[in-house]
Amino acid sequence: MSCYHIRGGRPLEGRLTVQGAKNSALPILAATLLAPGESVIENCPHLSDVDAALAILKGLGCRVWRQGDTVGVDASVLAGAEISRELMEEMRSSVVFLGAMLARMGRAALTYPGGCELGPRPIDLHLAALRTLGADIREENGLLRCTGRHMAGGEISLTIPSVGATENAMLAACGCPGVTRISGAAREPEIEDLQGFLQAMGADIQGAGTSTVIIRGGAPLRPARYRVMGDRIAAATYLCAAAAAGGQVALTGVDPEHLRAVLTALEQAGCSVQTGPGEIALTSGGCLCAVPPVVTEPYPGFPTDAQAIFMAALAGGRGVTLFRENIFESRYGHVAQLRAMGADIQVEGREAIVTGAGGLHGADVRGGDLRGAAALVVAGVAARGETRVTGLAHIRRGYDGLDVGLRALGADITETD
């Protein structure tokens, strides 16, 4: 079984351009279904989740190609409107294809995405939003059969600012004649990136990044060329590694505003952070100090996807920090593995109390989910001694060469069998 072999405790130095954003690329790839013709997506990261999205598009009849960080999708001729069970299980966020399939083909069949390592992953808000637009959705034996022959714009009110439900509603509304208003929408930067691509396709859509998105749908759309924004969580990962190990790094290709809450927390932990257009520089003496409670919230609050990563950075520091995970039910899978590296972390329901151990030691640890596995790599880079991290399949879902990026910043990390 392959693993990352890390010799930790060295400061990080260097510059790195951050990968394209996984959570932008996936809904944008789904949106390519909305128009016949070839769309070209630049800065598309090499990820297993992107591979799964491309497999779904091919399964629907699209012709897809990749050249470096550029991906092409020709959705001229679609055949079939079904996503296989194995592809749905490979990537639960493929539910976002539902809105695009209804908008383009008026029908869709896919299996219920089901829960994952983070807890239940309900899609009730997705289905309610699509039903508001006139979709007929029947759930039978874990299969969702959807038809939307006569969909029309409507008023969608999301009780939770769900990223996926907002994206599904945006995509479906593009195919619905009339005005759709999505209130209570998620405000994540990835939603704005999706809006940017849809506008490039000719969609009349405004408001992404605020709680109200308005779409005037029904007009034919055209394929477009679009560059995916930088991945704010990948950026947070490299910054937390440098913060914990000490050193001086500079990241390019990501908007500092997209991870302001994380940058503020890193400054509170003792790092010096400078930002400019598309650039973040961080200097750290290592051994971080405690910070005010870290409470995960919808954007622009502290992102749930950075919770494990930041916890790993603080675990080897000093002082006591309270974490509260408000978004997902069970997102502390990384705690037991961090304890194996000497971390002192007490978990009580959605709260975790981290008491800095004044440095962690290397260990053989296993990642159980995407960001939890990345957190173990962050801890290993800062820890004294050698760490082996298994569970790389989780990491490959969301990081385009995490080991390569960290080596570029001076970490001693190699992938071994």
50 binds ligand EPZ (CB under 6 A): no
Asked if residue 231 binds ligand EPZ (CB under 6 A), the reply is no
CB under 6 A: which stretch of 39-47, 123-131, 139-147, 191-199 binds ligand EPZ?
A: 123-131
Q: According to the binding rule CB under 6 A, does residue 93 interact with ligand EPZ?
A: yes
Rounded to whole angstroms, how far apart are CA atoms 55 and 51? 6
Q: Given the rule CB under 6 A, which of 58-66, 67-75, 159-167, 201-209 is the region that contacts ligand EPZ?
A: 159-167
Stretch touching ligand EPZ by CB under 6 A, among 59-67, 124-132, 234-242, 258-266: 124-132
Nearer residue to ligand EPZ within complex by CB, 117 or 267: 117
Q: Is the CB of 94 or the CB of 321 nearer to ligand EPZ?
A: 94
Any contact of residue 126 with ligand EPZ (CB under 6 A)? yes
The yes or no reply on residue 327 touching ligand EPZ (CB under 6 A) is yes
From the CB of 193, what's the least distance to ligand EPZ, in Å? Answer: 11
Using the minimum distance from each CB to ligand EPZ, give the nearer residue, 282 or 309.
309
Tokens matching residue 220: 């034919």
Q: In the chain, what is the straight-line distance between the N-terminal and C-terminal CA atoms, in Å?
A: 6
Q: Which is nearer to ligand EPZ, 185 or 354 (CB)?
A: 185
Name the minimum Å distance from CB 259 to ligand EPZ: 13
User: Exactly one of 3, 44, 62, 116 is catalytic; which is it?
Assistant: 116
Q: With beta carbons less than 8 A apart as the criterion, state whether 371 and 309 touch.
A: yes
Between 124-132 and 97-105, two packed helices, what is the crossing angle to 10 degrees?
20
Q: Which of 339, 371, 394, 396 binds ligand EPZ (CB under 6 A)?
A: 371
Q: String of b and e for 128-161 (b: at least 16 CB within 10 Å)?
A: bbbbbbbbebeeeeeebebbbeebbbbebebeeb
Q: Distance of CA 27 to CAs 83, 138, 221, 264, Å?
A: 15, 23, 16, 28
> What b/e string do you get for 237-259 counting C-beta neighbours within 10 Å, with b at 16 or more?
bbbbbbbbbbbbbbbbbbbbebb
Instruction: State in angstroms the smallest separation of the CB of 362 from ligand EPZ.
Output: 25
- Active-site residue flag, 289: no
> Residue from 305, 325, 400, 403 that binds ligand EPZ (CB under 6 A)?
305
Between 126 and 361, CB nearer to ligand EPZ: 126
Least separation in angstroms between residue 220's CB and ligand EPZ is 27
Owner of token pair 């709680």:
211
Task: Write down the least CB distance from residue 342 to ligand EPZ, Å.
Answer: 26
- Per-residue b/e over 373-390, b at no fewer than 16 CB within 10 Å? bbbbbbbbbbbeebbbbb
Residue found by looking up tokens 């809006």 in the block: 195
Nearer Cβ to ligand EPZ (109/116): 116
The region that residue 405 occupies, defined by phi over 0 for left and psi between -120 and 50 for alpha, beta otherwise, is alpha
- Binding to ligand EPZ by residue 251, rule CB under 6 A? no
Instruction: For residues 395 and 140, give the distance between their C-alpha atoms in angstroms, rounded to a whole number.
Output: 33
Of 287 and 373, which has the nearer Cβ to ligand EPZ? 373
**Residues from 265 through 304 that contact ligand EPZ (CB under 6 A):** 304
**Is 310 a binder of ligand EPZ (CB under 6 A)?**
no
Under the binding rule (CB under 6 A), the answer on residue 39 touching ligand EPZ is no
Q: Which of 28-36, 162-170, 174-182, 200-208 is the region at the interface with ligand EPZ (rule: CB under 6 A)? A: 162-170
Residues 111 and 142: beta-carbon distance below 8 Å: yes
Using the rule CB under 6 A, is 328 a contact of ligand EPZ?
A: yes
- Of residues 53 and 243, the one with the C-beta less far from ligand EPZ: 53
Strands across the sheet with 412-416, in order?
364-366, 385-390, 3-8, 412-416
Alpha-carbon gap, residue 274 to 18, rounded angstroms: 16
Task: Pull the structure tokens for residue 340.
Answer: 């194996």
- Which DSSP helix (H) or strand (E) runs through 48? helix 48-59
Please report whether residue 139 would count as binding ligand EPZ according to CB under 6 A: no
Which amino acid makes up residue 180? T
Which tokens belong to 128?
């309610």
Stretch that binds ligand EPZ, among 155-163, 210-218, 245-253, 352-360 (CB under 6 A): 155-163
Q: Which one among 13, 138, 149, 160 touches ligand EPZ, defined by CB under 6 A?
A: 160
Q: Are the CB atoms for 121 and 100 separated by under 8 Å?
A: no
Confirm or reject binding of residue 26 to ligand EPZ (CB under 6 A): yes
Element (DSSP H or E) covering residue 190: helix 189-200
Catalytic residues: 116
Residues lying near ligand EPZ in the complex (CB under 6 A):
22-23, 26, 93, 121-126, 160, 162-165, 186, 304-305, 327-328, 370-371, 398
